[in-house]
Amino acid sequence: MNNRIKEFRARHNMTQEDLAKKVNVRRETIVFLEKNKYNPSLKLAYDIARVFDSKIEEIFLIE
Amino acid sequence: MLSISNFVLELLNKYLKVMKKGVIVFILAALVLVTTGIWFFSSTEKLKLYEFVGFGVIILVVGFAVFIGFKRLNSAKRGEPAEDELSKKVMQKTAACSYYVSLYIWLAIMYFSDKIKYETHTVIGTGILGMAITFAVCWLVFNFRGIRNE
């Protein structure tokens, strides 16, 4: 699974720390997500999509 | 007796709620370090090589615990949760993997304890230290490699 978190974060002018605080995870989790080293739970994916005001499938792409 | 145990339980409950897990890690690490220090410096006989190795391994394990404690405190300082879904998953994978490896460690120890005669406490101590090292190594692997496609 790939994701466009980094792209969406830049578009919303957000740091990894800002996003981490908004979705209530540690900054390391955002780092791992952006490097595709971790697939988030459905809840975390939903929370991230909600922060960016987008749909889950726009951010997370299944290869 | 019952009222005393109730009081102790209440006290424990209260403190556990107030204390962060990171602080508990520091307290445990300090206790292990103090106990090891007492054992190391109160020994009247000359320490053997494997006792020095054991001491070194304990220091490494305590260092690892302190590292985790610092990580949690730093997260708390930044206003992030001390634990989240990734750290819980890493812990679960670490526990499962280190349990699996530990079975083989004990099997090897049982095999070698038949061939070489060691005192019982040395054999058990080696097993426990082996388990601690396995846990630390598994945690480092999963924490830095990440958990992909699971």
**What CATH number is associated with residue A41?**
1.10.260.40
CB contacts of B89 in chain A (<8 Å) are 38
What DSSP designation does A35 have?
A: T
Check B87 against A26: CB less than 8 A apart: yes
Q: Using a CB-CB distance cutoff of 8 angstroms, which residues of chain A are in contact with residue B147? A: 37-39
Split at pLDDT 50, 70, 90, the class of B18 is very low
Instruction: Write the CB contacts of A29 (distance below 8 Å, at least 6 apart in sequence).
Output: A20, A38, A44, B84, B85, B86, B87
**What is the ipTM for the molecules in this complex?**
0.85
Would you say B127 and B105 are in contact if contact means Cβ atoms under 8 Å apart? yes
Per CB-CB distance under 8 Å, the chain B contacts of A29 are 84-87
CA terminus-to-terminus distance, chain A: 6
More confident residue, B18 or B48: B48
Per-residue pLDDT, B150? 58
The stretch B37-48 carries a mean pLDDT of 76
Summarised one tens digit per residue, pLDDT across range A13-63 is: 999 999 998 999 999 899 999 998 898 999 999 999 999 999 999 999 887
Between residues B116 and B5, the one the model is more confident about: B116
Q: Is the pLDDT of residue B21 over 50?
A: yes
Of residues A62 and B140, the one with the higher pLDDT is B140
Q: Please give the average per-residue pLDDT across B19-32, as a whole number.
A: 76
Query: With 60 as the cut, is the pLDDT of residue B17 above it?
Result: no
User: Which residues 54-83 of B are in CB contact (within 8 Å) with A?
Assistant: 75, 78-81
Instruction: Provide the 8-state DSSP code for A45.
Output: H
A38: containing domain: 2-61
Instruction: Please give the Cα distance from B72 to A39 (Å, whole number).
Output: 22
In this structure, how many other beta carbons lie within 10 angstroms of the beta carbon of residue B87? Answer: 20
Q: Which residue of A21, A26, A41 is the best one to mutate when testing the B interface, meaning the one whose CB has the most B CBs within 10 A?
A: A26
Whole-prediction pTM: 0.72
Extract the tokens encoding B105.
């460690």
**Higher confidence at residue B50 or residue B89?**
B89
**Which run of H or of E encompasses A3?**
strand A2-3
Does B38 or A11 have the greater pLDDT score? Answer: A11
Please name the residue that has the structure tokens 């780092």: A31
Over residues B75-99, mean pLDDT: 87
Number of domains in chain A: 1
| Maximal CA-CA distance, chain A | 29
B14 or A8, greater pLDDT: A8
Q: What is the pLDDT of residue B2?
A: 61
Domain boundaries defined on chain B: 1-83, 84-150
